[in-house]
């Protein structure tokens, strides 16, 4: 019996010693974990790709070659339809004055491509202008010269002629020149009447009346009439040389 008790007591002591060793190891491990520095999860990451990696990832930009300008041409004889931006009157306008017109419809080349678009500005100079001085003159004198056309803010020279298709003649009021024509007729008639009647006053009166009629008719025949071009009326420009435009 005594031997059995000793064996049992020895086993209990050994079991107790083993439990203390395990508990101490566990305690030591727990202490070490609590002493580790805490990690700040809110701190920003400093992850940056290397320069070599960035160079590989950046797409290469290939410069496109500049487009070559395309030239379009209108042949000599091409007509440009436009409208006057302001009117003309031979009583107020003089040679050398500048005028403008607005192109009324697209002007295309032989391939149907637009060379001068509608809305472009045509610049014109009055080369000569003069009223009509005879009834037989139905037009008066008006010579226009186109100088350039402006397209999209860029100017191109023009070589050609210009015509005012709707110009008219307007009678002027009787002026000193017309009265002088009547006076010359009266004086000539009076002298002729005096000579025919042998110097009598009656002949002079009759001759003066006849001469006045002749003078009046002459004044009518030679009455000045102004060349008038209404604002917005038709303007035709005809090219005398090829016109080129780069697009």
Average pLDDT, the chain: 77
Cβ(185)–Cβ(216) under 8 Å? yes
Higher per-residue confidence, 34 vs 158: 158
- Domain 71-171+227-246 is in which class? mainly beta
End-to-end alpha carbon distance in the chain = 125
Calculate mean pLDDT across residues 69-79: 94
% of the chain surpassing 90 pLDDT: 47
pLDDT at residue 35 is higher than 90: no
Q: What is the pLDDT of residues 86-140, one digit of tens each?
A: 999 999 999 999 999 999 999 999 999 999 999 999 999 999 999 998 878 888 9
pLDDT at residue 153 is higher than 80: yes
Higher per-residue confidence, 80 vs 210: 80
Cβ(126)–Cβ(95) under 8 Å? yes
User: Confidence class of residue 24 from pLDDT cuts 50, 70 and 90?
Assistant: very low
Calculate mean pLDDT across residues 7-23: 57
Closest residue by Cα to residue 149 from 125, 172, 120: 120
Residue 102 is predicted with a pLDDT of 98
Helix (H, G, I), strand (E, B), or coil: what is residue 108? Answer: strand
Higher per-residue confidence, 132 vs 182: 132
pLDDT at residue 26 is higher than 50: no
Residue 93 is predicted with a pLDDT of 98
Separation of CA 145 from chain center: 22
pLDDT at residue 79 is higher than 60: yes
Calculate mean pLDDT across residues 66-72: 83
Cβ(235)–Cβ(162) under 8 Å? yes
The pTM for the full model equals: 0.57
User: Confidence class of residue 201 from pLDDT cuts 50, 70 and 90?
Assistant: low
Calculate mean pLDDT across residues 193-201: 56
Cβ(228)–Cβ(86) under 8 Å? no
> Cα(141)–Cα(39) distance, rounded to whole angstroms?
101
Question: Residue 64: is it exposed, middle or buried by C-beta count within 10 angstroms (0-12/13-18/19+)?
Answer: exposed
> Cα(197)–Cα(189) distance, rounded to whole angstroms?
12
Calculate mean pLDDT across residues 71-82: 97
> Cα(201)–Cα(171) distance, rounded to whole angstroms?
37
% of the chain surpassing 70 pLDDT: 56
pLDDT at residue 209 is higher than 50: yes
């Amino acid at each position: 019996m005594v031997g059995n008790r000793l064996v049992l007591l020895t086993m209990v002591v050994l079991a107790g010693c083993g439990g203390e060793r395990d508990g101490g190891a566990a305690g030591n491990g727990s202490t070490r974990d609590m002493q580790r520095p805490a990690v700040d999860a809110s701190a920003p990451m400093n992850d940056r790709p290397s320069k070599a990696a960035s160079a590989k990832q950046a797409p290469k930009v290939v410069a496109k070659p500049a487009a070559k300008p395309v030239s379009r041409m209108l042949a000599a004889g091409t007509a440009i339809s436009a409208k006057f931006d302001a009117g003309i009157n031979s009583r107020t306008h003089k040679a050398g004055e500048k005028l403008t017109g607005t192109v009324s419809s697209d002007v295309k080349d032989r391939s149907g491509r637009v060379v001068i678009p509608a809305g472009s500005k045509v610049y014109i100079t009055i080369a000569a202008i003069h009223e009509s001085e005879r009834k037989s003159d139905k037009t008066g004198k008006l010579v226009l010269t186109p100088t350039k056309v402006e397209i999209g803010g860029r100017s191109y020279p023009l070589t050609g002629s210009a015509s005012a298709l709707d110009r008219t003649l307007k009678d002027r009021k009787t002026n000193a020149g017309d009265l002088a024509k009547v006076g010359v007729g009266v004086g000539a008639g009076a002298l002729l009447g005096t000579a025919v009647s042998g110097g009598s006053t009656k002949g002079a009166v009759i001759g003066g009346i006849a001469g006045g009629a002749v003078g009046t008719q002459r004044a009518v025949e030679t009455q000045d009439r102004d060349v008038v071009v209404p604002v917005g009326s038709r303007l035709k420009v005809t090219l005398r040389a090829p016109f080129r435009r780069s697009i």
